[in-house]
């Protein structure tokens, strides 16, 4: 498909927000909401690295949007719009592009996000898809990784390790399971939860590279030590059925990454607010540890054993901010 056709036929119909100017100007023009801060993130998905060539194109579009919105969720921001950089190869034929933009359109509608602009380039060896997401949050109120306090409790949303199992399934390395595969291909950004955590959580981030490595990053950003009890790790039924109650198995789940759940800290007095929020958002929230003085992580396994895993997660840069 000619890039001009891709833009005119498939992308322009998605760019209905006035700021996008019908993709007909050099740039988008956005009037920022008054008294709000903007939250900006850019994540890249490369074919063969972050998704597999056989993944359904609509799921690739979903994931490209979701991983970026997850960064906004971690700051408590409401998404406004996105710009995309689509680097395409000959593998992304007309059928692929049609299914991709169709899925993109549905995902944009679901999360009420506007397509504001972007760029396309054809002729690559494989697809490299970049997306910048812009969100807004009350001035000075954004959640960060830095403000955890000693005595806070450590929570995580949803379940951990599903996406890692889903990736193994997608690769043909594990027995099929629709739920787990879906958790790898269509992560759910915790937008409502993130916005609800404003004023409740002391610090937050999203879990993209593995629960343990991301917890270590939160600890470092706050200048404190996080205690993580792996026996409290929230597992889905499907993951639990594949996870013997043993340290090695729990560590595998907690280092697999691609969860796109929220990891956050809150003072003990906020426990009721956290529970109420979880109920309102219909999101499972599990207390998995606590915050103390010091630095780094202390990880506890089965029987209270102190664990020192050789590897805490992915080191590929991940997250939103480079």
Q: Which positions ≥6 away from 22 have C-beta within 8 Å?
A: 12, 15
CA distance 227 to 153: 9
Hey, which residues between 7 and 46 contact a second copy (CB under 8 A)?
7, 11-12, 15, 19-21, 23-32, 36-44, 46
End-to-end Cα distance, the chain: 32
Q: Decide whether 104 or 238 has the Cβ nearer to a second copy.
A: 104
Site of tokens 């054993």: 305
Q: Does 49 bind a second copy (CB under 8 A)?
A: yes
CA distance 310 to 225: 18
Hey, which residues between 126 and 185 contact a second copy (CB under 8 A)?
126, 128, 130, 132-135, 137, 139, 142, 144-146
Hey, which residues between 202 and 231 contact a second copy (CB under 8 A)?
205-206, 221
Contact indicator for 139, 265 with CB cutoff of 8 Å: no
Least distance from C-beta 235 to a second copy, angstroms? 24
Q: Decide whether 142 or 274 has the Cβ nearer to a second copy.
A: 142
Hey, which residues between 84 and 113 contact a second copy (CB under 8 A)?
84-87
Query: How many amino acids of this chain bind a second copy (CB under 8 A)?
Result: 79
Burial class of 22 by CB neighbour count within 10 A (0 to 12, 13 to 18, 19+): exposed
61, 66, 97, 116: residue in contact with a second copy (rule CB under 8 A): 116
Q: Which segments within 277-317 are labelled E, that is strand? A: 285-292, 296-300, 306-307
Hey, which residues between 283 and 322 contact a second copy (CB under 8 A)?
315-322
Q: Does 193 bind a second copy (CB under 8 A)?
A: no
Q: Decide whether 218 or 230 has the Cβ nearer to a second copy.
A: 218
Rounded (10°) angle between helices 247-254 and 211-222:
70
CA distance 87 to 106: 21
Least distance from C-beta 175 to a second copy, angstroms? 28
Q: Does 50 bind a second copy (CB under 8 A)?
A: yes
Q: Decide whether 6 or 235 has the Cβ nearer to a second copy.
A: 6
The secondary structure of residue 86, as a DSSP letter, is E
Q: Does 187 bind a second copy (CB under 8 A)?
A: no
Q: Decide whether 183 or 217 has the Cβ nearer to a second copy.
A: 217
Q: Does 191 bind a second copy (CB under 8 A)?
A: no
Tokens in use for 20?
């996008």
Site of tokens 């997250």: 319
CA distance 54 to 62: 15
Least distance from C-beta 212 to a second copy, angstroms? 15
Least distance from C-beta 12 to a second copy, angstroms? 8
Query: CA 197, 199, 202, 204 torsion: positive or negative?
Result: positive
Least distance from C-beta 43 to a second copy, angstroms? 5
CA distance 264 to 216: 12
């Amino acid at each position: 498909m000619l890039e001009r056709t891709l833009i005119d036929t498939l992308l322009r119909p998605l760019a209905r927000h006035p700021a996008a100017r019908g993709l007909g100007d050099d740039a988008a023009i956005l009037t920022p909401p008054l008294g709000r801060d903007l939250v900006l993130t850019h994540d890249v998905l490369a074919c063969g690295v972050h998704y597999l060539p056989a993944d359904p194109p609509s799921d690739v579009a979903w994931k490209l949007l979701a991983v970026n919105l997850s960064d906004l969720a971690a700051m408590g921001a409401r998404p406004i719009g996105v710009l995309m950089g689509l680097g395409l190869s000959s593998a992304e034929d007309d059928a692929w592009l049609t299914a991709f933009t169709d899925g993109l359109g549905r995902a944009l509608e679901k999360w009420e996000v506007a397509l504001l602009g972007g760029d396309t380039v054809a002729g690559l060896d494989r697809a490299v898809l970049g997306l910048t997401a812009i969100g807004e949050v009350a001035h000075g109120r954004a959640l960060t990784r830095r403000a955890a306090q000693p005595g806070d409790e450590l929570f995580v949303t949803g379940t951990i390790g599903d996406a890692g199992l889903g990736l193994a399934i997608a690769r043909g390395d594990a027995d099929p399971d629709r739920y787990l595969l879906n958790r790898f291909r269509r992560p759910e950004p915790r937008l409502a939860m993130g916005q609800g955590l404003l004023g409740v959580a002391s610090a937050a981030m999203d879990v993209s590279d593995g629960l343990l490595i991301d917890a270590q990053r939160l600890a470092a950003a706050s200048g404190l030590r996080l205690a993580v009890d792996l026996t409290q790790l929230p597992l889905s039924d499907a993951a639990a059925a594949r996870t013997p109650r043993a340290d090695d198995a729990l560590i595998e789940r907690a280092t697999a990454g691609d969860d796109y759940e929220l990891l956050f800290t809150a003072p003990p007095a906020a426990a009721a607010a956290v529970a109420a929020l979880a109920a309102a958002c219909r999101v499972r929230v599990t207390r998995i540890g606590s915050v103390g003085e010091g630095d780094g992580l202390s990880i506890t396994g089965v029987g209270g054993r102190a664990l020192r895993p050789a590897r805490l997660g992915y080191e590929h840069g991940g997250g939103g901010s480079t």
